[in-house]
Amino acid sequence: MTQHPDPPRPRKIPTQARSRATFEAVLEAATRILQAGGLSAITTNLVAETAGISVGSLYQYFPSKEAILSELVTRMRLSMSERLADASARAQELPLRQAIPMLMEAAVHQYATQPALTAALEAAEAQLPRSPEVRAGRRKVRDALVACLDRRGIPDPQEAALDIAAMTRGIVMASVYSGKADFELVRKRIEWAALGYLAERMGRSSDLL
C-alpha cells in the first residue's frame, strides 16, 4: 500500500519583517525558476541563489524542497478556489447561459495568466502528498460549481461539475502546450464545452439552458 505521509510544510510562518521578506523571496525565486524551466529545473541551491540568500537560510523556513513546492501549490489552489467562489457568488441569480461564462472566466484565469507555472505546479502536485489545504481548495472549487449547477436543477451535479472542471483544464492546458494562448478565445470555447456538455447531459430537449 502507498503511504500517506504528512504533507511537507514550511518550518515556521515568519511574522517579522526581515523573515517574512526572506520567506517570500524563496517562494518568488522558486516561482521564477518553475516558470522558466519547469519542475525539473528547480534545485534548492538554485532557489537560494536566485533568492539572493544562502541555502542555510532557505532551510530555516522550509524543511525540504517539497515544502517549497507544496506551499506554492497550496497558494495556487487557494487563489483559484477564492476566485471561483467569488464568481459563483456573483453568478448566483443569473441564468445558466450567463453564469457559465463567469465561472469559466474564473476557472481559466490561473492558466491564462501563468500557463507555464501552473503546468509545473500541477506536475509537482501530482507527486506530492495531498495537503488538507489543497484538498479543501479543490473541494471548494468543486462545491462552488456544484451549488451553481444544483440550483438550476442539473441532475448529478457532482459528476457534472467534475467533468466541466476537467474539460476546462484539458482545453486550457492544450492551448498552453500548443503555444497559442489567446485566452479570450479559449474562454469562449470552454463555454461552448460546458454549456454543450450540460445540454447533452440533460437531453437536448431540456430548456433549462
Partner DNA sequence: GATGAATGAGGATTCATTCAT
Partner DNA sequence: GATGAATGAATCCTCATTCAT
Q: Which residues bind DNA (CB under 7 A)?
A: 14, 16, 18-19, 21-22, 42-46, 53-57, 59-60, 63-66
**CB 7, min distance to DNA, A:** 14
The interface partner of residue 169, options being DNA, its own copies, none and the CB cut-off 5 to 8 Å by kind, is its own copies
What 8-state DSSP symbol labels residue 41? G
Asked if 48 and 27 touch (Cβ cutoff 8 Å), the reply is no
Asked if 149 and 99 touch (Cβ cutoff 8 Å), the reply is no
Stretch of 8-16, 68-76, 84-92, 171-179 lying at the interface with its own copies (CB under 8 A): 171-179
The interface partner of residue 19, options being DNA, its own copies, none and the CB cut-off 5 to 8 Å by kind, is DNA
Residue 15's contacts (CB-CB under 8 Å, 6 or more residues apart) are none
Task: Report the distance separating Cα 160 and Cα 114, nearest Å.
Answer: 26
| Cell numbers for 154 | 442539473
Residue 205 sits in the site that holds its own copies (CB under 8 A):
no
Site track for its own copies across 123-162, x = CB under 8 A: x--xx-------------------------------x--x
Task: Report the distance separating Cα 40 and Cα 11, nearest Å.
Answer: 23
Asked if 27 and 72 touch (Cβ cutoff 8 Å), the reply is yes
Residue 87 sits in the site that holds its own copies (CB under 8 A):
no
Task: Report the distance separating Cα 24 and Cα 22, nearest Å.
Answer: 5
Positions that interact with its own copies (CB under 8 A): 38, 40, 119, 123, 126-127, 159, 162-163, 165-171, 173-175, 177-178, 189, 191-193, 195-201, 204
